[in-house]
Amino acid sequence: MQGLREMLWARNLNAGAKPGRIATPRERSAMADQATAAFLGLAIGDALGATVEFMTPREIRQEFGVHCEIVGGGWLRLKPGQVTDDTTMSLALGEAILAEGRVDARAAAEAFDAWMRAKPVDIGNTVRRNLITYRKTGNPEAPASEHDAGNGAAMRILPVALATLGQGREVLATACRAQGHVTHHNILSDAACIALAGMVQDFVRGKSVEDVERANAAPLVAVHPVFDYTVKPRDNPSGFVVETIQAVLQALFATETFEDCVVDVVNRGGDADTTGAIAGMLAGARYGLDAIPVRWLRRLDRGVAESCRLQAEALLTLSAKGPAPERIRGD
Ligand code: MN
Ligand code: MN
């Protein structure tokens, strides 16, 4: 890890800096810390939430009181610290981005296809259907569908956010659509992916929570009012990306620690591994590594934790090489 970090500094990386200004080592080190916390937060939220996936808040209260320990189980009968598709698809995507040196739809489709062949513990219906279509057609862009508004593309957006850090909103949006459309070619999914990735980037660049909300969540709701998360509490969020985002943003903006945010969202039940993963990603980016409870870090599957750390650093390094928009395919 130390070697990678020194490499990051030595290359005078400028992701996150204003144009014409190189990020200082202190800024680089803060960004690497928050990017790593985002990836570990994603995996921790997934591992914690999976225990109560598809339960209602009332059922969770009856069984756990407040669910706040990584104990495995759930309908997938996981080992404590084991993660699900939210984390493993993110890692598969991150690996493809690093291998290609850019966000590439075909490389992402191949990576997801290989991931599906390896028999993951869980897989979304839309992901499965459109990967099977990809096998037949070879087209890494799924057909557009107003029904494919699940959270399956949003839950794996993190490596795209890190790989395009500091490269501008246009590059970010293009890359989000390229990876998202492999399985979810849908306007609400796109909007959610772009907002989430923008939030991660802004947190990693040190923006305040108020600024992050104003620059990402507010425009999302302005363009697609269905996402409005301020009206009523979203309990039991389904896999519909709108409900997922509402639960996550409510938990993120109503709490002031990593732990409170993730505990809040998974105790809402429903698609709790995915809301946990997305909330953990945002809270990790917001609060940094020191804010993640050590008892959760210790429980997380060791191989997964190591992959999260390595990918976070390597994706930041890649982002500093600058955009390659002409080489982003599939948009
Ligand atoms: Mn899952
Ligand atoms: Mn899920």
Write out pLDDT tens, residues 279-299.
999 999 999 999 999 999 999
- As a whole number of angstroms, the distance between CA 39 and CA 305 comes to 9
Strands (E), 105-222: none
Cβ distance 257 to 287 under 8 Å? yes
Give the count of beta carbons closer than 10 Å to the beta carbon of residue 231.
Answer: 8
Q: Which ligand is nearest to the CA of 76?
A: 1
pLDDT value at 212 more than 90: yes
Distance 101 CA to ligand 2 centre (A): 29
Report the share of the chain in percent with pLDDT over 90.
88
User: DSSP string spanning 243-264?
Assistant: HHHHHHHHHHHH-SSHHHHHHH
Q: Report residue 15: phi and psi, to 5°.
A: -60, 135
Q: Tens digits of per-residue pLDDT, 25-66?
A: 888 799 999 999 999 999 999 999 999 999 999 999 999 999
Distance 88 CA to ligand 2 centre (A): 12
In eight-state DSSP terms, residue 66 is: S
The length of the chain is 331
pLDDT bracket for residue 13 (50, 70, 90): very low
pLDDT bracket for residue 21 (50, 70, 90): low
Which chain residues have CB less than 5 Å from ligand 2, an ion? Answer: 271, 273-274
Q: Tens digits of per-residue pLDDT, 81-137?
A: 999 999 999 999 999 999 999 999 999 999 999 999 999 999 999 999 999 999 999
Element (H, E) at 126: helix 125-137
Distance 145 CA to ligand 1 centre (A): 22
Distance 322 CA to ligand 2 centre (A): 33
- As a whole number of angstroms, the distance between CA 180 and CA 113 comes to 14
Alpha-helical regions (H) of 11-65: 25-49, 57-64
Distance 84 CA to ligand 2 centre (A): 8
Give the count of beta carbons closer than 10 Å to the beta carbon of residue 222.
Answer: 10
b/e 6-41 (16+ beta carbons within 10 angstroms → b): eebeeeebbbbbeeeeebeeebbebbbbbbbbbbbb
Distance 122 CA to ligand 1 centre (A): 6
Q: Which ligand is nearest to the CA of 53?
A: 2
Cβ distance 104 to 321 under 8 Å? no
